[in-house]
Structure 1
Amino acid sequence: MLLQKLEQLTTLFAEMETAMIAYSGGIDSTLVAKIAVDALGDRAIAITAESPSLLPEDLEDARVQAAEMGIAHKVVQTHEMDNPNYSSNPVNRCYFCKSELHDTLKPMAMQWGYPYVVDGVNADDLHDYRPGIQAAKERGARSPLAEVGVTKAEVRELSKHLGLPWWDKPSQPCLSSRFPYGEEITIAKLQRVGRSEVYLRKLGWQNLRVRSEGDTARIEVLPDQVKEFVIQTDLPQLVSALQSYGFLYVTLDLEGYRSGKLNQVLELAAANQK
């Protein structure tokens, strides 16, 4: 079944003839880029959007991965932070982010002769609250993984099958996802979150988030690592480091990391309206 989906994806790209991939360097868009370059060679190109919500380390990862896959790669600047509809952080913030991305990429694709901008949306994403998907669809983007029904778990399986060394790379959504809806996002806030997460990664914690709520950093590690984190981490040194980045208070979420946790306020609001 999995190899059948890979064959379908390969055929899909062959039928496209050319493809421009909206490539963040994450596991989903990297798999799309790999299959595209295998099918199309130099008729595929990967474009990474650079903005304050992308860690410099993640941009470098994207460059390294693209080079290893042998796909042409370009970096463009996007300016979603200039849009108050984005920086005010409404519940549909991602809509304005993806609008900016695809409003930047689509004219480039048309000018360079690419009929489609292709993204890394997978089948599981369609069942989550992802307003950015609507923005991409409105601008004619295609989502091969979702079209073929490839789930997040299958993305990793296919990546491993194709020999991608980063098949188990943790998910790393944009830094703006670390803020509760309604809290204004600024470049300074993004930078302190980013520096905090890089600091924790260097300590060996890979699956994590540093949520920002006002002047408080709330650290999330995997649930089964919470106890280990407390025992192994030099907590005073950790607090000092995150305070040097701009936080006043440093806390640990005892529930642990759970993808989409900030969306639970939307679920609660919907339940209260029933």
Structure 2
Amino acid sequence: MKFSLKNKTAIVTGGGSGIGKAISKTLAGQGAYVHILELNVDNAEVTKSEIESDGGKAAVHQCNVVNQTDVVEVINKIAEESGIDILINNAGIAHIGNVENTPEADLDRVYSVNVKGVYNCIFASVPHMKAKKNGVIINMASIASSVGLNDRFAYSMSKGAALTMTYSVAKDYINDGIRCNCISPARVHTPFVDGFLKNNYPGREAEMFEKLSQTQPIGRMGKPQEVADLALFLCSDEASFITGTDFPIDGGFIKLNG
């Protein structure tokens, strides 16, 4: 079977909802034992139940990726049980604002999750991958890593860091059998988008949804499953010649806008 992850162990941060949920279910569907690291364990437990009802295997770990002690403890426990083959750094938070209206506290919060959280999980996982001389790391970046977006100062900063961390890790550990790539989505239709529209445009949700969809040249938002399928390929042995690369999945946004 192509793209098989049988006998592989995968960690997915933020794997209980949205893109992370789609990734968790897709990797499990291809045979991986998926460990979901989440602050919101209720969402993660629902994802775990859906995986198990489809015949897959999953576990849930309550973990705040901001806290290095917690991250190291959880990842070491997973490694002792089954080793670590795949790390998906999906957990992240959004922010709207330019440099003038981004308070220091907001910048610190975005940095702590989107940058330090990625660092913490890589820091904890790489020694176990080095010991096996094998491993795959995928960081969730964004089109904001590569192009300027209005009112996304803190978010763009953090996703630019995810992109360059990818390059650094890929370079440093290429001789240890560790591949590191990143995925850069444009707008993807997740529960976060629906919540954003409901809170900021009450009564105009459909109108604004269409407006946001049309910012992609392809004329629609992406689907979590489309991102998950790309992640599956990059995790698989079929992608064994790919490392140190950013993969936009953006409906043509980066190259075709303007």
**Structure whose CA Rg is larger:** 1
Greater length-normalized contact order (CA 8 Å, ≥ 6 residues apart): 2
